[in-house]
């Protein structure tokens, strides 16, 4: 077994290789002068079971993923398993308006073309898993976030909306504390509001957990809401830290700590999903 890492998932691939006790292939990935992608695998993969690990974000990493899958297929491999730590385009999981594509489905179809199976982490919508033409599994990053948060000793775990309540439940079970959820109303892509809801957070240490932090609007509003009800400390944790539009420093200004996993690698990714991925593989 050998891991082929894409450039978006180098750190996670290294941790995963260590966790599984398998080799990391020597992969070259660079850009041509016109910015097209070039990849080359400097190991002979004949007869190997190969795990390609690459987050499908931002767009250029998707092309790199396809090229890596095909580079692997050029060898006579035993099996090709694709791990997509953060599955980009998952939030366009339906036609919101006539004339739109279902982007999450488009990507699922294309990824399935060159792979024997697929693993991803905390996919935004579980139904997307049915759109792969190959066996697929969605892994939860929440248990590992729970292990990290337990050390911070929060009194309560809060989901910023009802849709994320299952995530809060998993984390609260690991931390061994209470959980609840806020009621979010999305105004547009960047703006959300929180419906008034009384929570027992006064004087408490609170950790908000969500699958994705994108612009950070959700966490900012949730933090304001919790503070207005007397929360003493507010932490924000997510699986996928997209941190669009400079969201990370903005959030670090309002929360005690911002935590994400290594499905998207950045300075907040202090929790690794490698253990859970290794277990699933």
The residues of the shown chain that bind ligand R5P, judged by CB under 6 A, are 160, 163-164, 192, 210-218
Residue 153 φ/ψ region, left for φ over 0, alpha for ψ in the -120 to 50 degree band, beta for the rest: left
Question: What minimum distance in Å lies between the beta carbon of 12 and ligand R5P?
Answer: 21
**Could you give the angle at the alpha carbon of 111 between the alpha carbons of 105 and 114, nearest 5°?**
145
Question: What minimum distance in Å lies between the beta carbon of 38 and ligand R5P?
Answer: 33
Question: What minimum distance in Å lies between the beta carbon of 160 and ligand R5P?
Answer: 6
Question: What minimum distance in Å lies between the beta carbon of 137 and ligand R5P?
Answer: 20
Question: What minimum distance in Å lies between the beta carbon of 127 and ligand R5P?
Answer: 14
Distance CA 115, CA 73 (A): 9
Which residue, 157 or 213, has its beta carbon nearer to ligand R5P? 213
Question: What minimum distance in Å lies between the beta carbon of 258 and ligand R5P?
Answer: 11
Judge whether 29 and 6 are in contact, CB under 8 Å: yes
Judge whether 270 and 151 are in contact, CB under 8 Å: no
Judge whether 260 and 219 are in contact, CB under 8 Å: no
Distance CA 238, CA 242 (A): 10
Which residue in 259, 274, 265, 279 sits closest to 171, CA to CA? 259
Judge whether 227 and 200 are in contact, CB under 8 Å: no
Distance CA 153, CA 66 (A): 42
Question: Which one of the listed residues 184, 195, 232, 279 is annotated catalytic?
Answer: 184
Instruction: Enumerate the H helices of 142-258 as residue ranges.
Output: 142-150, 165-175, 217-228, 247-254
The contacts of residue 184 (CB under 8 Å, 6+ apart) are 160, 161, 162, 192, 193, 194, 195, 218, 221, 222
184 is catalytic: yes
Axis crossing angle, helix 59-73 with helix 103-112, rounded to the nearest 10: 20
Which residue, 208 or 281, has its beta carbon nearer to ligand R5P? 208
Which residue, 118 or 212, has its beta carbon nearer to ligand R5P? 212
Judge whether 3 and 24 are in contact, CB under 8 Å: yes
Q: Which residues carry out catalysis?
A: 184
């Amino acid at each position: 077994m050998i891991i082929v890492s894409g450039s978006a998932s180098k750190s996670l691939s290294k941790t995963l290789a260590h966790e599984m006790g398998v080799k990391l292939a020597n992969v070259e990935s660079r850009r041509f002068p016109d910015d097209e992608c070039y990849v080359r695998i400097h190991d002979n993969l004949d007869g190997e079971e190969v795990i390609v690990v690459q987050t499908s974000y931002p767009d250029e990493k998707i092309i790199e993923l396809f090229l890596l899958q095909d580079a692997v297929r050029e060898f006579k491999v035993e099996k090709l398993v694709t791990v997509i730590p953060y599955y980009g385009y998952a939030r366009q999981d339906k036609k919101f308006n006539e004339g739109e594509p279902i982007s999450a489905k488009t990507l699922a179809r294309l990824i399935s073309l060159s792979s024997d199976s697929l693993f991803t982490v905390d996919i935004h919508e579980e139904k997307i898993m049915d759109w792969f033409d190959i066996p697929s599994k969605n892994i939860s990053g929440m248990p590992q976030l729970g292990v990290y948060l337990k050390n911070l000793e929060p009194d309560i775990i809060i989901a910023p909306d009802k849709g994320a309540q299952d995530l809060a439940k998993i984390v609260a079970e690991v931390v061994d504390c209470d959980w609840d959820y806020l009621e979010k109303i999305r105004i547009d892509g960047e703006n959300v509001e929180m419906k008034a809801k009384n929570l027992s957070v006064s004087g408490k240490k609170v950790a908000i957990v969500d699958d994705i932090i994108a612009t950070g609007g959700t966490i900012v509003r949730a933090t304001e809401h919790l503070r207005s009800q007397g929360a003493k400390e507010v932490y924000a944790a997510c699986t996928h830290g997209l941190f669009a539009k400079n969201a990370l420093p903005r959030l670090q200004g309002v929360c005690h700590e911002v935590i994400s996993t290594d499905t998207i690698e950045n300075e907040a990714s202090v929790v690794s999903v490698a253990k859970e991925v290794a277990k699933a593989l």
